[in-house]
């Protein structure tokens, strides 16, 4: 395999470096004005009002499951139906609640944020042209 002299590689690497044109003060100002806009703040508020309570509820539900197993293992071994006991039932409900939460998040994003965010994105791209 032939070796390439470092001097031959260095000018090509320098020529391919990205220019600072993408970080011009104009684009910075556009993005900062978008971030400060009421439309962007509404999108962020909508996101936070769903995500923070949903994460808290899910974390609480998970910790309740773990604490119940640690504190009351006898109760968790109680049979529900056939070989299915309380621990298995609650564990399966963890999966069900994960899928439910994912579906609720996607529906919330689709109905409350996606259209507004897309409009804001197009406005931002128009300002940058």
Residue 77 makes CB contacts below 8 A (sequence gap 6+) with 85, 86, 87
Q: List the chain domain ranges.
A: 26-128
* Beta pairing partners, 81: 84
C-alpha neighbours within 13 Å on the C-beta side of residue 39: 15
- What are the C-alpha distances in Å from 19 to residues 8, 34, 75, 82? 21, 24, 65, 68
How do the pLDDT tens digits run along the chain, 129 residues long? 555 554 544 444 444 545 555 555 588 888 888 888 888 899 999 999 999 999 999 999 999 999 999 999 999 999 999 889 999 999 999 999 999 999 999 999 999 888 888 888 888 888 888
pLDDT (0 to 100) of residue 10: 46
Note the pTM of the prediction, 2 decimals.
0.67
């Amino acid at each position: 395999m032939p070796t390439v002299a470092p001097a031959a590689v260095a000018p090509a690497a320098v020529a391919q470096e990205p220019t600072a044109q993408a970080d011009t003060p104009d684009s910075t100002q556009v993005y900062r004005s978008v971030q400060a806009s009421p439309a962007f703040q509404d999108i962020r508020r909508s996101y936070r009002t769903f995500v923070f309570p949903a994460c808290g509820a899910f974390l609480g539900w998970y910790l309740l499951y773990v604490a119940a197993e640690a504190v009351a293992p006898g109760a968790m071994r109680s049979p529900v139906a056939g070989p299915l006991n309380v621990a298995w039932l609650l564990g399966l409900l963890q999966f069900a609640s994960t899928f439910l939460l994912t579906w609720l998040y996607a529906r919330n994003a689709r109905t409350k944020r996606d259209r507004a965010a897309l409009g804001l994105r197009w406005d931002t791209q128009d300002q940058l042209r």
